[in-house]
């Protein structure tokens, strides 16, 4: 596709479009088949195990034009050296793409992405990724393998920490924001990086929440739940997408023509580049859909994939596949054109060394303004799960005991997937409380990470708590048991942390819980036993100060859950947009209705849930019209009042239910949301615009459309706390 027809055009300043296209055409005219295949070959500088590739062999491959991109390079000198080999030693001098996983910050580590989604503030995520891009670019990277936009409602899957939770609407908003943050306004600026939406598609639905497992979802679920954040990324001009590891309709994503060519490149006109996940081209053999490496390369390229990450089946097999007529050279040229085009967009042809600047690196990393932004992001991400008897905020004059090894762990404050983050740069909760209070805070680990206790450790914790006015127990997950390859069958507090909390609760000292986690946890016992629970996730490099400011009331928590918390792992997968079933049991009378005999259907803490140190009241939900025709819009407005004693932020959530459809429709779906800041006693009108496309779904005719009929428009504090409902009619 010509660059002028691409959504990527929004990242090209005037005058460069034709120049890039001309240069790409010129290169393609002179390239051999081997050089073309080389542009599709991505090599790792370091394996994930930490062992280094054979240096001489890699250098030779780069100099010979057999490598188009790198990943996992950390040393700035190494990255520059390899770029010099590509530019100055290879026949055509084509620069390298240099990719890295920048998941929630580079050296300035922000809260994990799931935590950022709890802010319900996409601008926060855009700002975080703008800073992450600036730091990564100063360190020699021009490509990041983020954002992850997979929708998931299974917290057993460790990678939920990388995403935005269970809602395709919330996920789409954060996908757009994160793409904009990484790619800036002009990709040729040296402080931007190419973004990569992953994992295409439906990887968040792995069976059993088990990493690398199979996926079996209907086309309807794919279209309505899993594809919208990817489409939003494409609309935002994302420069690359990454294949998923999983199958769809039992065909591996890397070699599945229907979603890649028909949807992504067909319906959505995506003109960026599509990269495999680690060795996923070759893994078609393990899936049982490719006979050998040659077959795997052929199927991946024919299906619409381009860059081969780490498996090297393309560089080894593709030239002969073209010579033998099994892959057309036109298809190869289209793949290479996409790679060369993004290199042009990044300005690499004009200056391939723009990302190697030691002075800029030294000035950029962990800059004061970056740390301040990380602290603000952490504060906005915290979710006050419950606060019975207004136990929070704490009195700064009180004698506070701090219990829990997580409170003193820099590594776990940063969280998983924080590769260039250094634990010594993180301000822990212990450090944050002591700095805020300007005194030493009595501290006892209570358990060894991730959760082992002894009689001695419990006795020491109880003694520390007994001597205090209040005990803050920091419990939850270590970074190591979240993220990739960290699926859990039990998602309660790890180890024997519960035993520690039980002992603390039995003292006469009031207890508050600070939850540090990378996924929703099944904490029904904790919720019953501890009146106040503040979820701080893995809050990043400035987590400690942000926690202190929130615990002591300098900041009023305003986060809301992007993903439901279950009572029990037996409830998952669990989400707000469930289908009603034929026997929903809404009347509460029939035993022969959907449900469990030992647990409720509803979650412990629902999607959208979040309390505050103040209260908000909703009145007067109105629709600007009770009926609209196709193509028309209306406004839904609700009056919000801060009826508490302190200023605060509220997340106003609008939901919709399609009462009758050609397919069964969810009991409620998130429609839109707005945040509002109000002083005590202040009132504001919050309005969202609704179009017929907002009421659309994947119909029985296999098209995305809004069907005429009745809809309930709802507003509430959470998915399980709907306050007002108005009826809307979509006319034929």
- The per-residue pLDDT for 55 is 82
Whether residue 166 contacts residue 107, with contact meaning beta carbons closer than 8 Å, is answered with no
- Assign a CATH topology to domain 3-233+326-359: TIM Barrel (3.20.20)
High-pLDDT (> 70) share of the chain, %: 97
* 616-730: in CATH 3.30.450.40: no
Whether residue 31 contacts residue 68, with contact meaning beta carbons closer than 8 Å, is answered with no
Q: Is the pLDDT of residue 4 over 50?
A: no
Residue 474: pLDDT band with limits 50, 70, 90 = very high
Q: Is the pLDDT of residue 699 over 90?
A: yes
- The per-residue pLDDT for 633 is 97
Tell me, rounded to whole angstroms, the distance of Cα 477 from its chain centroid: 18
Rounded to an integer, what distance in angstroms lies between the CA atom of residue 204 and that of residue 197?
Answer: 13
Q: How many CB atoms lie within 10 A of CB 350?
A: 14
Partners of 473 in the beta sheet? 403, 513
Q: Which range is least confidently modeled, 49-58, 144-153, 206-215, 358-367?
A: 49-58
What is the rounded average pLDDT for all residues in the chain?
Answer: 95
Rounded to an integer, what distance in angstroms lies between the CA atom of residue 505 and that of residue 486?
Answer: 30
Q: What angle do CA 27, 30, 33 make, to 5 degrees?
A: 100
- The per-residue pLDDT for 49 is 38
Whether residue 464 contacts residue 430, with contact meaning beta carbons closer than 8 Å, is answered with no
- The per-residue pLDDT for 587 is 63
pLDDT, tens digit, for every residue of 390-435? 999 999 999 999 999 999 999 999 999 999 999 999 999 999 999 9
Q: Is the dihedral of CA 680, 685, 690, 695 positive or negative?
A: positive
Whether residue 43 contacts residue 73, with contact meaning beta carbons closer than 8 Å, is answered with no
Q: Is the pLDDT of residue 605 over 90?
A: yes
Instruction: Summarize the confidence of residues 250-268 as an average pLDDT.
Output: 97
Q: Is the pLDDT of residue 586 over 90?
A: no
Rounded to an integer, what distance in angstroms lies between the CA atom of residue 228 and that of residue 597?
Answer: 35
Tell me whether residue 277 is one of the annotated catalytic residues.
yes
Of 371, 366, 436, 374, residue with least CA distance to 400? 436
- The per-residue pLDDT for 50 is 43
Instruction: Summarize the confidence of residues 336-348 as an average pLDDT.
Output: 97
Q: At what angle do helices 55-63 and 76-84 cross, to 10 degrees?
A: 40
For the chain, the domains span: 3-233+326-359, 373-571, 616-730
DSSP state of 298: H
Instruction: Summarize the confidence of residues 702-722 as an average pLDDT.
Output: 97
HSE-up of residue 166 (Cα within 13 Å, Cβ side): 26
Q: What angle do CA 433, 439, 444 make, to 5 degrees?
A: 60
- The per-residue pLDDT for 17 is 78
- The per-residue pLDDT for 295 is 98
- The per-residue pLDDT for 360 is 87
Q: Which helix (H) or strand (E) holds 547?
A: helix 543-551
**Identified catalytic residue from 277, 412, 577, 658:** 277
Instruction: Summarize the confidence of residues 349-358 as an average pLDDT.
Output: 91
Whole-prediction pTM:
0.97
Q: Is the pLDDT of residue 5 over 70?
A: no
Whether residue 556 contacts residue 648, with contact meaning beta carbons closer than 8 Å, is answered with yes
- The per-residue pLDDT for 357 is 83
Partners of 704 in the beta sheet? 698
Q: Is the pLDDT of residue 8 over 80?
A: no
Q: Is the pLDDT of residue 52 over 60?
A: no
pLDDT, tens digit, for every residue of 477-502? 999 999 999 999 999 999 999 999 99
pLDDT, tens digit, for every residue of 60-88? 999 999 999 999 998 899 999 999 999 99
Q: Is the pLDDT of residue 53 over 60?
A: no
Rounded to an integer, what distance in angstroms lies between the CA atom of residue 563 and that of residue 294?
Answer: 42
Q: Is the peptide bond before 450 cis (omega within 30 degrees of 0)?
A: yes
Whether residue 105 contacts residue 541, with contact meaning beta carbons closer than 8 Å, is answered with yes
Partners of 479 in the beta sheet? none
Instruction: Summarize the confidence of residues 295-308 as an average pLDDT.
Output: 98
pLDDT, tens digit, for every residue of 542-578? 999 999 999 999 999 999 999 999 999 999 999 999 9
Backbone torsions φ then ψ of 12, nearest 5 degrees: -115, 125
Give burial (CB, 10 Å; 0-12/13-18/19+) of 324: exposed
- The per-residue pLDDT for 48 is 38
Q: Is the pLDDT of residue 640 over 60?
A: yes
Q: Identify the CATH number of the domain defined by range 373-571.
A: 3.40.50.1700
Whether residue 479 contacts residue 518, with contact meaning beta carbons closer than 8 Å, is answered with yes
Q: Is the pLDDT of residue 330 over 50?
A: yes
Strand order in the sheet with 616-623: 616-623, 633-642, 683-691
Rounded to an integer, what distance in angstroms lies between the CA atom of residue 617 and that of residue 643?
Answer: 7
Whether residue 157 contacts residue 212, with contact meaning beta carbons closer than 8 Å, is answered with no
DSSP string across 151-214 = ----TTSGGGGGS--S-HHHHHHHHHHHHHHHH-S-TTSTT--B-EEEEETTGGG-GGG-TT--
Of 231, 549, 196, residue with least CA distance to 392? 549
Residue 358: pLDDT band with limits 50, 70, 90 = confident
Q: Is the peptide bond before 147 cis (omega within 30 degrees of 0)?
A: yes
Whether residue 601 contacts residue 559, with contact meaning beta carbons closer than 8 Å, is answered with no
Residue 1: pLDDT band with limits 50, 70, 90 = very low
Residue 361: pLDDT band with limits 50, 70, 90 = confident
Helices of type H across 40-167? 55-63, 76-84, 113-117, 122-138
Instruction: Summarize the confidence of residues 677-687 as an average pLDDT.
Output: 98
Q: Is the pLDDT of residue 524 over 60?
A: yes
Of 179, 48, 158, 172, residue with least CA distance to 112? 158
Rounded to an integer, what distance in angstroms lies between the CA atom of residue 143 and that of residue 140?
Answer: 10
Q: How many CB atoms lie within 10 A of CB 712?
A: 16
- The per-residue pLDDT for 362 is 87
pLDDT, tens digit, for every residue of 386-399? 999 999 999 999 99
């Amino acid at each position: 596709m010509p660059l002028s027809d691409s959504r990527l055009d929004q990242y090209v300043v005037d005058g460069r479009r034709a120049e890039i296209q001309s240069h790409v055409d010129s290169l393609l005219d002179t390239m051999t088949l081997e050089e073309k295949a080389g542009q599709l070959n991505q090599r790792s500088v370091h394996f994930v195990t930490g062992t280094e590739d054979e240096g001489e062999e890699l250098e030779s491959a780069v100099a010979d034009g057999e490598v188009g991109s790198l990943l996992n390079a950390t040393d700035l000198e190494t990255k520059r050296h390899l770029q010099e080999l590509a530019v100055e030693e290879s026949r055509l001098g084509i620069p390298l793409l240099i990719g890295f996983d920048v998941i929630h910050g580079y050296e300035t580590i922000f809260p994990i992405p799931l935590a950022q989604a709890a802010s319900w503030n996409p601008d926060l995520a855009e700002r975080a990724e703008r800073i992450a891009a600036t730091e990564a670019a100063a360190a020699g990277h021009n490509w990041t393998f983020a954002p992850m936009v997979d929708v998931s409602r299974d917290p057993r899957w460790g990678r939920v920490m990388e995403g935005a939770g269970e809602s395709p609407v919330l996920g789409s908003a954060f996908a757009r924001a994160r793409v904009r943050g990484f790619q800036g306004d002009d990709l040729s600026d040296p402080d931007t990086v190419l973004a990569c939406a992953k994992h295409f598609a439906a990887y968040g639905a792995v069976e059993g929440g088990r990493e690398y497992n199979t996926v079996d979802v209907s086309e309807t679920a794919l279209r309505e739940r899993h594809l919208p954040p990817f489409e939003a990324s494409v609309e935002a001009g994302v420069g690359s997408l990454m294949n998923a590891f999983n199958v769809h309709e039992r065909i591996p994503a890397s070699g599945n023509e229907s979603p890649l060519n028909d949807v992504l490149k067909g319906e959505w006109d995506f003109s960026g580049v599509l990269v495999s996940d680690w060795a996923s081209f070759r893994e078609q053999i393990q899936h049982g859909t490719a006979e050998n490496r040659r077959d795997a390369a052929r199927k991946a390229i024919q299906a619409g994939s381009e860059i081969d990450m780490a498996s090297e089946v393309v560089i080894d097999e593709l030239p002969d596949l073209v010579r033998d007529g099994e892959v057309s050279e036109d298809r190869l040229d289209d793949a290479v054109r996409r790679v060369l085009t993004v290199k042009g967009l990044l300005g690499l042809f004009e200056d391939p060394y723009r990302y190697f600047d030691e002075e800029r690196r030294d000035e950029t990393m962990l800059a004061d303004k970056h740390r301040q932004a990380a602290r603000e992001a952490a504060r906005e991400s915290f979710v006050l799960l419950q606060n019975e008897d207004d136990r929070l905020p704490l009195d700064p004059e009180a004698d506070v005991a701090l219990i829990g090894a997580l409170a003193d762990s820099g590594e776990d404050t940063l969280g998983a997937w924080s590769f260039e983050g250094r634990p010594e740069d993180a301000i822990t909760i212990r450090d944050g409380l002591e700095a805020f209070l300007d005194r030493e805070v009595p501290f006892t680990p209570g358990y060894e990470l991730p959760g082992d206790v002894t009689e001695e450790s419990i006795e020491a914790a109880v003694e520390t708590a007994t001597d205090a006015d209040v005990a803050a127990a920091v419990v939850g997950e270590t970074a190591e048991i979240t993220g990739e390859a960290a699926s859990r069958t039990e998602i309660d507090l790890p180890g024997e942390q519960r035993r520690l909390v039980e002992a603390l609760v039995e003292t006469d000292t009031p207890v508050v819980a600070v939850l540090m986690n990378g996924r929703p946890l099944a904490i029904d016992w904790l919720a019953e036993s501890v009146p106040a629970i503040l979820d701080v996730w893995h809050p990043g490099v400035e987590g400690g100060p942000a926690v202190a400011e929130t615990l002591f009331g300098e900041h009023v928590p305003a986060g809301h859950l992007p993903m439901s918390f279950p009572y029990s792992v037996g409830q998952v997968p669990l989400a707000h947009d469930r289908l009603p079933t034929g026997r929903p049991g809404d009347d509460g009378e029939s035993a022969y209705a959907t449900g469990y005999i030992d647990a409720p259907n509803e979650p412990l803490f629902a999607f959208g849930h979040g309390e505050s140190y103040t209260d908000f009241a909703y009145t007067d939900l109105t629709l600007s019209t009770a009926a609209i025709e196709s193509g028309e819009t209306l406004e839904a407005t609700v009056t919000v009042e801060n009826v508490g004693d302190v200023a605060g932020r509220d997340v106003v959530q609008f939901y919709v239910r399609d009462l009758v459809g050609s397919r069964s429709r969810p009991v409620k779906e998130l429609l839109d949301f707005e945040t509002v800041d109000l002083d005590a006693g202040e009132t504001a009108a919050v309005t969202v615009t609704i179009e017929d496309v907002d009421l659309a779904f994947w119909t029985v005719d296999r098209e995305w459309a809004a069907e005429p009929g009745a809809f309930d428009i709802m507003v509430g504090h959470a998915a399980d706390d709907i306050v007002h409902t108005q009826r809307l009619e979509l006319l034929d």
